[in-house]
Amino acid sequence: MSHYFETPTGKADTFRVPMRLWDAEVELDSSKGVFSGGGLDLGTAVLLRSTEPPPGPAQLLDLGCGVGPLTIALGLGNPEARITAVDVNERALALTRANADRLGIGDRVSTVLPGDVPADELYDEIWSNPPIRIGKAALHELLTTWLARLRPEGTAWMVVARNLGADSLSVWLEDQGWDCERVASAKGFRVFAIRRP
């Protein structure tokens, strides 16, 4: 399992990395030991290039937030959105919190471990570059758990590398009763919009 799924030990030496998040050019605090710590990962870049910020008041979930590029993009792209950023890596959560505060959206962002999300909290949209490398069984459990938190008319936006099983994951989601629409394909990634039938 890759190191970024767990909180790293040792001192967190932070540095800033430039990222383009939809129309926003920002610098995010980052560190070693977190997903895509060196800059915006290709999958998330493809996801953002293939979508637009959700409009109007919305309760959004960034599943596997890392240093927060999706959280920041959603918060800057929609001033009415409230975002819950979830990660198992506490260093990633701290960096997302710092980035949200510094960029002026901290009052609309919650950074929490998965087990600390209220059991009855539902979301209008879920955004994720999911941790495919945790293994198929663990990934299926993760998606089953979090997709159940979508409101009836909600959408989950997800990017998955084709060579890491994007197409078979799409079939599995359909078999679980979800509509899984491929909305884009670029740079070896698939972008899916997942909705209830």
pLDDT digits (tens, 9 = 90+) for 150-159: 999 999 999 9
pLDDT at 82: 98
Q: State the total domains in the chain.
A: 1
pLDDT at 36: 74
Cα separation, 135 vs 158, in Å, equals: 17
pLDDT at 188: 96
CATH number at residue 163: 3.40.50.150
Cα separation, 42 vs 105, in Å, equals: 24
Q: β-strand 189-195 against 150-161: which pairing, if any? A: antiparallel
Q: Which token pair is 61?
A: 């979930």
pTM of whole model > 0.75?
Answer: yes
Going by pLDDT thresholds of 50, 70 and 90, the confidence category of residue 33 is confident
pLDDT at 81: 98
Cα separation, 17 vs 21, in Å, equals: 12
Q: What is the mean pLDDT of the chain?
A: 93
pLDDT at 7: 54
Cα separation, 131 vs 87, in Å, equals: 10
Expressed as residue numbers, the domain containing 32 is 3-195
DSSP for 117-177 reads S-TT--EEEEEE---GGG-HHHHHHHHHHHHTTEEEEEEEEEEEEGGGTHHHHHHHHHHTT
pLDDT digits 0-9 by tens, 41-93: 999 999 999 999 999 999 999 999 999 999 999 999 999 999 999 999 999 99
pLDDT at 3: 36
